Structures are given as structure tokens and as C-alpha cells.
């Protein structure tokens, strides 16, 4: 069966309408319309026996067919393409947003891990520095205490030597003084006895 195109259908309808309406003059058409209206008692626009009504129906079908063709072949596909593009664009934006959110979450997790690691490393470094400082301070304190002990021992030795020297000089002076007084007062010469008496006196006073 040979397919019928829209243009061929329109041409055939126009030829049929022209052939049907050609023998009818304007006066006859008007008279026929009036007679039909009077006979039916209705509106002449609804008189299907009127050739003008047939022509209007034909043109209505033609225009409807053209509009259907335009809508079906041109307008609706463009709407579909626009909606599909918009749907694809929205889907792409959603996927990009999901990917960006995943990257942001990964970056935030990496930042948290790096912060925690840095904090732990800093605490370890602080603890190590404190331990090193404590050990250094302890070593320096030990060295300083040793030096102080040496200085104190040397000072005590010097003090002991100086005291012994002073006590020896004091004993000698006291012995000589006592000997001189005894000789002057009694005329006796007893250096051993005088020295023993001076030693006992100094021992009694805690200066021996």
C-alpha cells in the first residue's frame, strides 16, 4: 500500500472541495443556506448539508493535522530534548556535588588525622624536652653540689688550720705570760708545770 503524505492529502481535499463548490453560485449557495436553515429551524453553521460547513470541517482537519505534525515532529521533540538536557545537567550537578562533598569529607578526615598526629608529636617533643632539661638540671646540680662540697671541705680545712694556728699562738702567748708572772711573783722557773696548767685551762674553756 502506497503511503499517503500530508501534502497529498491536503491537495486531494482542496481539489474535491473546489470541484464540489464550483457549480454553485453565490446566490444559489446563500439561497440553499437560507432554505436549509428555514427547513431545519436551526443554526446555519451546524448545517452539514451546506458546502461551506464541509469546507470548514475540511480546513479544520487540515489545520489540526498541521498543528499535530508541528507539535509531534518539532515542538515536542524540542521540549523532550530540553527536558532531557536539563535532567542530565541536574544529574551531573548532583553527581558533582556528591563528589565535592566526598572530597570535602576526605579532606576534613585528613585534616583531623594530621591535627591529631601533630598534637601527639608536639606532646612527645615537649615530654622529651622536659626530660632532657630535667636530666641536664640534675647533672648540673650534681656538679655544683660536688664543687660546693669541695669548697666547703677546703674552707673547713683552712678554718681548722687557722684555728689550730691561732690556738697554738694563744697557748704560747698564755704560757709565756703565765711563766713571766710566776717568775716575777714567786721567782720559780717551772715551764712544764705552767704549760700543763695553761693546757688544762684552755681545755676547760674548749679552746684546746
Residue 99 pLDDT greater than 70, yes or no: yes
pLDDT of 26 reads: 46
Question: pLDDT (tens digit, 9 = 90+) per residue, 101-138?
Answer: 999 999 999 999 999 999 999 999 999 999 999 998 99
Under 8 Å between Cβ of 56 and 4 = no
Burial 151-188 (b: 16+ CB within 10 A, else e): eeeeeeeeeeeeeeeeeeeebeebbeebbeebeeeeee
Distance between CA atoms of residues 76 and 68, nearest Å: 10
Rg, the chain, Cα only: 69
Position with higher pLDDT, 107 vs 53:
107
For residue 175, what are the CA distances in angstroms to 35, 36, 164, 203? Answer: 185, 183, 16, 14
pTM: 0.36
| Mean pLDDT value across the chain | 75
Question: pLDDT (tens digit, 9 = 90+) per residue, 151-205?
Answer: 898 888 888 888 777 777 777 777 777 767 776 676 666 677 767 776 777 667 6
For residue 98, what are the CA distances in angstroms to 29, 33, 92, 192? Answer: 73, 72, 10, 117
Which residue, 66, 36, 27, is CA-closest to 54?
Answer: 36
- Cell numbers standing for residue 37: 436553515
pLDDT of 19 reads: 43
Amino acid at each position: 500500500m502506497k503511503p499517503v503524505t500530508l501534502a497529498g492529502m491536503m491537495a486531494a481535499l482542496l481539489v474535491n472541495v473546489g470541484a464540489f463548490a464550483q457549480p454553485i453560485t453565490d446566490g444559489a449557495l446563500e439561497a440553499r443556506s437560507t432554505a436549509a436553515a428555514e427547513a431545519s429551524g436551526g443554526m446555519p453553521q451546524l448545517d452539514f448539508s451546506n458546502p461551506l460547513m464541509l469546507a470548514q470541517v475540511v480546513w479544520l482537519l487540515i489545520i489540526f493535522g498541521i498543528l499535530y505534525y508541528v507539535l509531534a515532529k518539532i515542538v515536542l521533540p524540542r521540549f523532550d530534548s530540553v527536558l532531557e538536557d536539563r535532567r542530565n545537567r541536574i544529574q551531573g550537578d548532583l553527581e558533582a556535588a556528591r563528589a565535592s562533598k566526598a572530597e570535602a569529607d576526605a579532606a576534613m578526615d585528613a585534616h583531623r588525622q594530621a591535627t591529631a598526629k601533630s598534637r601527639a608529636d608536639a606532646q612527645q617533643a615537649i615530654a622529651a624536652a622536659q626530660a632532657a632539661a630535667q636530666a641536664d638540671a640534675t647533672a648540673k646540680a650534681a656538679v655544683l653540689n660536688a664543687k660546693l662540697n669541695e669548697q666547703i671541705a677546703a674552707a673547713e680545712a683552712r678554718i681548722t688550720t687557722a684555728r689550730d694556728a691561732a690556738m697554738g699562738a694563744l697557748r704560747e702567748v698564755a704560757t709565756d705570760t703565765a711563766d713571766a708572772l710566776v717568775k716575777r711573783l714567786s721567782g720559780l722557773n717551772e715551764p712544764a708545770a705552767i704549760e700543763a696548767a695553761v693546757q688544762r685551762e684552755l681545755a676547760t674553756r674548749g679552746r684546746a
